[in-house]
Amino acid sequence: MTDQIKYLLCLADNALILGHRNSEWCGHGPVLEQDIALTNISLDLIGQARNFYQYAASLSGADHNEDTLAYHRDSHEFLNTLLVEQPNGDWGVTILRQFLVSNYQYYLYQQLQHNSDVTLAAIAAKAIKEVTYHLRWSSEWVIRLGDGTTESNQRMQQALHLLWPFTYELLQPADYETGYIDVTKIKQLWQDKTNEILAEATLSIPNNSQPFIGGKTGAHSEHLTAILNEMQSLPRAYPNTIW
């Protein structure tokens, strides 16, 4: 498998798994408006994943298509970060996870829309419009909850301690990523925006947390296996079904 295909799968897998995680809130959100908002974000992410999978399939040839890449790979073949596969937890955990990922995707897609690979650039240019909203929506919620009641602040601080160790992997590129992005620039922009929002939310970044990495090379937690068992059950039972 070429680095180009691996990178496309990494982008697709991140969007698909986060979209699936968010979709678990459908019908269970704290209020109807935000239930719908998060469901729409899920659809955006799954749509982005589909575009990346279609492009990867066109390059890989053989019998691959978007369905085989999404539904017929095992967990060790997925290249998403560990962050996106973490359980939803409470509303605060879900919101914070979305902010941390959307903040990264925003600066990532800003770079990729100028990539020499015109197809990749076009997918990124379309995605950045959606991610701009995802970042604004999740930022507002992080601030609202962090700078809210004593309980909401405590829950957001707990969520930050839980998720922060997984953010290191976002900013540590795998070998197949280095030819596509300037990680140093993305890291600085991500850190600046993250610090700004967390400060406004009166939240403190944990010190000396142990980084959790490995997802980009196929080493995942048991959480991804559980997600795939649910998500892939129908396509694997009925291989001829399509999106």
CB 223 within 8 A of CB 86: yes
Report, in angstroms and rounded to the nearest whole number, the Rg of the chain calculated over CA atoms: 17
Kindly state the percentage of the chain with pLDDT values over 70.
95
CB 71 within 8 A of CB 231: yes
Q: What span, in angstroms and rounded, lies between the C-alpha atoms of 140 and 144?
A: 6
Q: Which residue has the higher pLDDT, 233 or 223?
A: 223
Inform me whether the pLDDT recorded for 200 exceeds 90.
Answer: yes
Residue 243 pLDDT level (bands cut at 50, 70, 90): low
Mean model confidence pLDDT for the chain: 92
CATH number of 3-203+213-237: 1.20.1260.10
CB 98 within 8 A of CB 45: no
